[in-house]
Amino acid sequence: MTHTMRTLLAAVVLAGMVSGPVRGQYGLAPYCQILDRIEDPIWEVYFGYMTNEDAKEPDAGHFGLTEIGARAGLYYYRTAGGDLDIQAGFDTMYFTGGGGIGLPTQVTAARLDLDYIMRFDDGYALRLKMEPGLYSDLRDLGWRDMYVPFALSGIHAVRSDVSLETGVAFFPGFDRLVDPRILLRWELGDFFLLDAGYPGSRLVYRPALHWGFTAGFDVQQHMQYRLKRSDDRRSLRYEEVRFHLGVERIFAENLLWRFEAGHAVNRSLNFERGEDYKLNDAYYFRIGVGGLL
C-alpha cells in the first residue's frame, strides 16, 4: 500500500492505529467486524404497514403506507484485487389514500446492489457501492426513471472487536445530491453488538443462539421517485426518521424471522416542482423472513 493511499485512508477513516494486527478470514487482512461479520440474510422478503395520519396543511387529507419488498444475492466473485457482491431487490410503498394531494398509487425502487471492496493487509479497505435501477411510480417507464446512487467509503479494522467506516453517498439527479455515511461497529462482549452512525444506528442483544433483540433508528432523506410524464410535479421525495424495536428468531438453522415496530417522526412529502407537505407522526410495523448461509 502506497504512502499516498495510506494518507488518504487515514483522513477518510477517523480511527486509531495503535492496536496490533489480528488476522481474520480474508487472507492476511485483519478481522473486520464490518466486512467479515455476516449480519444480514442472503435473501429476504418483508411486509410493512404505517398508520393513516394527516398532512399538517389545512387543505390536505390523511393517508397511510403499505410496504412490501425483497432482495436476494445473485453473484459473489473474489479476485486478487477485491470482492464483488451483486444483489437484486425492490422496495415498494403503496399509499392508502391520496391524502387530497394527488399521490400516486405506489412508488418503487427496483435496483441492483453492487458492492465492490478492496482490502489491504494493514486493516484498511476501500468500498464502492452502487444501486442502479428504477426509482419511479412505474408509469410511462423510460430512461428518465433510471438513477444510479452510489457511495464511496473507507473502512478500518481498529481492533478485532471494533471497525469503522466513513464516506459519502451521492445521488445524481436527485434533489439532494450528497449525504454522509458513518458506521462504528463494536462487538460488546458475547451478547451485544453496537452499530452507531448515520443514517442509522442500532443495538443488538443476542442472549441465545436463535434469538435476537434490536433497538435503533434510521434516517431517510433521499428516496426520490420519478412521476408519470403527465404529472407536472416531476418527482416525489419522501422523508422520515424511524425509531424502532425488533425481535429476530432463527428456525431450522437457516431461516430467519424478523418483526419490527416503531414510531416515524419528521415526516414530509416533497415534490420537485410542487408543494412540500409536512406529515404528522405515525406508527408502523414490519415483518419479514430471510435465509442464512
Task: List, in sequence order, the alpha helices (H) in the chain.
Answer: 3-12, 33-36
Express the helix, strand and coil content of the chain in percent, nearest 5 each: 5, 60, 35
The alpha carbon of 146 is separated from its chain's Cα centroid by a whole number of angstroms, namely 19
pLDDT in tens, 24-61: 444 567 899 999 988 889 999 999 999 988 777 656 67
pLDDT-derived band at 22 (thresholds 50, 70, 90) equals very low
Strand partners, 200: 218
User: How many angstroms separate the CA atoms of 46 and 107, rounded?
Assistant: 16
For 69, 73, 219, 222, 234, the CA distances from 39, given in Å and listed in that order, are: 18, 14, 20, 24, 37
What confidence score (pLDDT) does residue 18 get? 30
What confidence score (pLDDT) does residue 16 get? 33
- Would you say residue 75 has pLDDT above 80? yes
Domain at 3-291: CATH architecture: Beta Barrel (2.40)
pLDDT-derived band at 12 (thresholds 50, 70, 90) equals very low
The model's pTM: 0.86
pLDDT in tens, 208-237: 989 999 999 999 988 899 999 999 999 999
pLDDT in tens, 176-210: 899 999 999 999 988 999 999 999 999 999 999 89
The vertex-55 CA angle with 51 and 57, nearest 5°, equals 165
Contact 263, 50 (CB under 8 A): no
- Would you say residue 15 has pLDDT above 90? no
What confidence score (pLDDT) does residue 98 get? 65
Q: Cis peptide leading into 199, omega within 30 of 0? A: yes
